[in-house]
């Protein structure tokens, strides 16, 4: 029997084959990794035409119906995590394509949230750049003790961010459409209205799952309520925030700044304003990019493919 062809997409750091023991597939699968990112359907369809298995990292490469319909050889999709809004699950089911997910990678995004908060309020990138140029103390930062942290979404990651805030002796307020006072208190936060949160918070951080219901949930009117000294932090998903409205707000310096790990379009276009705005601290969606997470993701990818080849149960997504 010919070896099954496996494509591992968007292996940006070229480490997919190092992060797991792929020998379980030896003689059964031929694995090809791709470091570059392709965005258009035509190029992707051409690249993936002969592959029976496609492995995707989070939502780096969307797999919508028009693309899936052009991949007659495709039988299995393996995605990191058990939720991937970029895969058309209904189309995959209709086309007889099995979709398998991996375990979660932990709290990397919550940890990065605090790295961004601290770097933004203390102007760490600017001071580091200035020091390398021979300068000394060029900005004045803000402290965190006694400030108000507003958390939008108090699920697993939002709750972790709330716990970390207690170490800085911050007041924590929270809002989401289904959040209760009891759950907020359970995580050391106080439930407020959406309007109250945007008016009162010194730092607003976003931790919601992207869906049709939450897309654009942080609108221009919401952003307009922020204090001129406030910061917006987003390590969740770019489309949760009205990006055009945020850019306009930042251009007018109506808020102190934004710290962003996620964007409307990823990878971020070369000439996007966020790449050059001085009041934006931007990172390339690295919240989940840790050795720890990658070892879990790629281990489970191998495990899923091996089980599928042997007809054994897998972590199949609905």
Distance CA 240, CA 212 (A): 10
Torsions phi, psi of 181, nearest 5?
A: -60, -40
The active-site residue, picked from 59, 187, 285, 303, is 285
Is 69 known to be catalytic? no
DSSP state, residue 56:
E
Residue with tokens 């709330």: 162
Residue 57, by phi and psi: left (phi above 0), alpha (psi -120 to 50) or beta? beta
Burial class (CB in 10 A: 0-12, 13-18, 19+), 24: middle
Tokens linked to 125: 């990138």
The answer for residues whose C-beta is within 8 angstroms of residue 107's C-beta and 6 or more apart is 157, 160
Is 52 known to be catalytic? no
Helices and strands, counts by H and E, the chain: 11, 12
The active-site residue, picked from 58, 123, 207, 237, is 237
Is 163 known to be catalytic? no
Tokens linked to 140: 């004045």
The active-site residue, picked from 60, 266, 299, 315, is 266
Helices (H), the chain: 41-48, 65-68, 89-94, 108-121, 124-132, 156-167, 181-186, 194-200, 220-223, 243-251, 291-309
The answer for residues whose C-beta is within 8 angstroms of residue 105's C-beta and 6 or more apart is 80, 81, 288, 290, 292, 293, 294, 296, 297
316 beta partners: 100
Distance CA 297, CA 293 (A): 6
Catalytically active residues are: 237, 266, 285
């Amino acid at each position: 029997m010919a070896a099954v062809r496996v494509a591992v997409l968007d292996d940006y750091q070229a480490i997919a084959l190092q992060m797991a023991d792929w020998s379980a597939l030896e003689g059964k699968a031929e694995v090809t990794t791709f470091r570059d990112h392709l965005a258009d359907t035509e190029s992707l369809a051409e690249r993936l035409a002969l592959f029976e298995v496609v492995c995707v990292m989070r939502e780096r490469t969307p797999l919508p119906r028009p693309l899936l319909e052009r991949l007659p050889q495709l039988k299995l999709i393996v995605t990191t995590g058990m939720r991937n809004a970029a895969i058309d699950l209904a189309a995959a089911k209709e086309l007889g394509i099995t979709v398998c997910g991996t375990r979660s990678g932990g709290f990397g995004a919550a940890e990065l949230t605090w790295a961004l908060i601290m770097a933004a309020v203390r102007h760490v990138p600017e001071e580091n750049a200035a020091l390398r140029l021979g300068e000394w103390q060029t900005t004045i930062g803000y402290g965190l003790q006694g400030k108000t942290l507003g958390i939008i979404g108090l699920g697993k990651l939002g709750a972790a961010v709330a716990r970390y805030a207690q170490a800085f002796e911050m007041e924590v307020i929270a809002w989401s459409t289904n959040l209760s006072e009891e759950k907020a208190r359970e995580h050391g936060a106080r439930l407020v209205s959406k309007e109250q949160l945007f008016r009162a918070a010194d730092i607003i951080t976003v931790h919601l799952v992207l869906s049709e219901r939450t897309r654009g949930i942080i609108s221009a009117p919401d952003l307009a309520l922020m204090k001129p000294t406030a910061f917006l932090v987003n390590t969740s998903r770019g489309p949760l925030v009205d990006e055009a409205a945020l850019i306009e707000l930042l251009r007018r310096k109506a808020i102190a700044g934004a710290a962003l790990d996620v964007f409307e379009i990823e990878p971020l276009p070369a000439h996007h304003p966020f790449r050059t705005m001085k009041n934006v601290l931007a990172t390339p969606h690295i919240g989940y990019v840790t050795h720890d997470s990658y070892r879990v993701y790629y281990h489970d990818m191998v495990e899923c493919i091996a089980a599928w080849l042997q007809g054994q149960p897998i972590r199949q997504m609905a």
